[in-house]
Amino acid sequence: MSESEAKWTCEYCTYENFPSSIKCTMCRGSRPFVSEDIYRIQGDKFNINDKFSNIGTAAGPLPPNDLHEHIQPLRISQHSDLAQSLIRNSSPPASLTNMENSKRTSQNGKWICTMCTYENWPKSTKCAMCGSGVNNNQRSQASRSPERFPETNSSHDDRLKEHILDSGQPSPNNMDTERKLRHLRRTADWNWLNACLGVIDGDPSPVEAYLSSGGDPARTLTASEVAILNRSSAFDVGHTLVHLAIRFQREDLLAILLTQIEGSGSGIKRVPSYVAPELARDIRRYFASTIRQRKGNFPCNYVADFPTFALPAECEELPGQVQEQLFAELLDKDAQEQLESDPAVINWSLELTVRLGSRLYALWNRSSGDCLLDSVMQATWGVFDRDNALRRALAESLSQGGHVFYPRWKEYEASQASFLQYSLDEGQWEEDWTSLVSLASQPGTSLEQLHVFALAHILRRPIIVYGVKYVKSFRGEALGYARFEGVYLPLLWEQSFCVRTPLALGYTRGHFSALVPTEPYSRLDARPPPAHANIVAHEQSTFLPLMDRDRKLLPVHFLTEAELGREEAILRQWLDVLETEGGILVAQQLLTKRPLLVAQMVEEWLNHYRRLSQMTSAPFARPIPVQDYSSEGDTDDE
């Protein structure tokens, strides 16, 4: 048998070893045990413990220049008897495992090292296994490529490669696959991909840029786009911007996207907290720092400051077209229409809206279970409760002060149940109470009457809710009686511990909105308001009706049986109650100077509309950008 015929082939790397080798010279893999004769070496003694570092025979090592002629790449079937016995008797070295994994993922077109037979990627200038250089023929082929391969994330490229290879268009040369990868990156719609990233990062700028350029909010991610974004934990094939906003709880961006979907109107909301997000964050941080907990028998949280948010008087000084755009971008069109529609709940009296300048406006709010807390924060500080500071204060107050809230809540609910001719046992009352306390601690969950009552104690001021009488479906069908309308007083505090200026909220079909006035008199009109018989005019006051349009007193919630029948007297104890010339009972709402941070936020918001008004002024008048804004689809679903 000739020396070349006696060579044994390594099962791991296919390298042909000389008979004297007990391990593969290239990868150090074990020699297969075939017969005892293979261990005999003519003319020399064989020591099984020797460590061979040179490739050679009994006659000596081969010359380096002739070495490649004795190496031929072999492919051994994985199902052969020799391979199976090798798998059973030994495990491959770690280096071989990596090499075999690389070979399994290799495609036609890789260049094969003439020294060790390892298949390398086309961009490799040296063999990844043995460090040998590519030959001249292979180098000339690589140099003819019109592109250079950039340094990219290997896992990212592998994902793109898998997408291309699985797309049903196999390429005979891996160079074509790499070229397709570069083509995908160059031709990708980065305006759309940046919008997807903006939703994940909570940045509205790329989302607004995509929508303003005519982008489709219902567009879905493709497999190649998911591979380009290279964040498998965040993006999935078929997802839209709405899916991403819901998945990552971006309520503000979700509202922007919902307004763009066909059938829901179009437009972008521009509320002060969105225009100045850093100031809004500072306001929320400051508000959280003002929350205290009173020591004693009633451990309820309370706030230290009592601001009341109102629209700046300068809004009325803007040109008509700019003023119309401002209100379209700020207000909740649906809520405003429902509250003012027949039978009207707000702004039903010309005496209040015109003569006393006390028109109420429903601010746009996020569509989520946090709308009650958001509306309270808007009515006071002009921001949303995005950090859940108010919700935490609410949950702690009901949990730690439950022994004070529970008896009044139970008595009030029992009296309401008696009108409907049903009653509950003690176990059912405790179960309902536990559920209400649990709801307060879960962000995104809708809240009930008890929570409005508790918020009046945290804010240390009355809350007046103007709401629809019946909850209706989208088809206009009455679904049930809405119980939120009425006055909520901080009855469990001492009156001296609270302020008499109320807040106004609106309730429409499962959604709360902040109801705020405009500052009563603009800077350009300093004339005093018309005098009325029973009202002391105050330049920084507005007036909230305590009656409905049928002149019936609004219900006062959570009164005990002993307090029923004395509603008007109780209102006068907690509010500055006045009577208009037309006989309407109203509560006086004082508008104090804005806190500094709130004033700065409102100024930044107004600057946008001031710039628009300058565009309409002579001598450089030009049409302002026309944008169709609405709040349709943003306010009701929770």
557 is catalytic: no
Determine the Cα–Cα distance for residues 485 and 547; give it in Å rounded to an integer.
11
Which residues have a Cβ under 8 Å from the Cβ of 575 and sit 6 or more positions away? 462, 500, 502, 546, 587, 588
Residue 307 token pair: 């601001």
Residue 126 pairs with which residues in a beta bridge?
Answer: 133
Residue 228 token pair: 């380009």
371 is catalytic: yes
Determine the Cα–Cα distance for residues 32 and 22; give it in Å rounded to an integer.
9
H/E element, 480: strand 478-481
**CA 4 to the chain's CA centroid:** 68
Residue 46 token pair: 């064989």
Report helix angle 426-440 to 402-419, nearest 10: 120
CA distances from 442 to 254, 398, 429 (A): 20, 13, 21
Determine the Cα–Cα distance for residues 162 and 159; give it in Å rounded to an integer.
5
Q: Which of 477, 507, 514 is nearest to 636 (CA)?
A: 507
User: DSSP of 171-199, one letter per residue?
Assistant: -SSHHHHHHHHHHHHHHS-HHHHHHHHHH
Query: 371, 457, 498, 557: which is the annotated catalytic residue?
Result: 371
Residue 316 DSSP one-character state: G
Provide the greatest CA pair distance for the chain. Answer: 131
Burial 10-37 (b: 16+ CB within 10 A, else e): bbbbbbbbbbbbbebbbbebbbbeeeee
Determine the Cα–Cα distance for residues 431 and 21; give it in Å rounded to an integer.
81
CB atoms within 10 A of CB 516: 25
β-pairing, 119-120 vs 111-112, is: antiparallel
**CA 38 to the chain's CA centroid:** 69
Residue 142 token pair: 């690589």
Phi, psi for residue 9 in degrees, rounded to 5:
-100, 130
Determine the Cα–Cα distance for residues 50 and 61; give it in Å rounded to an integer.
16
Residue 80 DSSP one-character state: S
Output helix, strand, coil percentages for the chain, rounded to the nearest 5. 40, 10, 50
Show the CA angle centred on residue 227, arms to residues 224 and 233, nearest 5°.
Answer: 135
Determine the Cα–Cα distance for residues 457 and 460; give it in Å rounded to an integer.
5
Query: 163, 239, 451, 511: which is the annotated catalytic residue?
Result: 511
The catalytic site residues sit at 371, 511
